[in-house]
Amino acid sequence: MSSSEAVALAAHLHVLLRRKTGRVTDTEWMAQNADYAREVLRIARAEGDADLAHWADRFEAVMFPPPPAGAAAGAPQQGERAASGLAAASTYVGRLR
């Protein structure tokens, strides 16, 4: 995810929410915090406005992209496997000494 793209979409969503509902959001926090972003998306979609729903979909696609098609559900990702392997290697070296 490009953080500048997430902030730009959050800003657009912020303007629409402000204009249509009077709600004020924090665009920087929305682009950084997944829980806050989900709540703003829930509020935007609850309004039933097509424009808000469209921008909520775009923001969601950037913030929460779908997993790659080849990735199995629950299988560790490349970074997780590398981190767990590194931890196991450091434990093994520590035990040898």
pLDDT in tens, the chain (97 residues): 568 899 999 999 999 999 999 999 999 999 999 999 999 999 999 999 999 999 999 999 999 988 888 765 555 555 555 555 555 555 555 555 5
d(CA 11, CA 25): 9
**How high is the pLDDT of residue 53?**
95
Length of the chain: 97
pTM of the model: 0.67
> For tokens 């909520």, what's the residue?
56
Give the count of alpha carbons within 13 A of 78, CB side only. 4
Average pLDDT of the chain is: 81
**How high is the pLDDT of residue 66?**
86
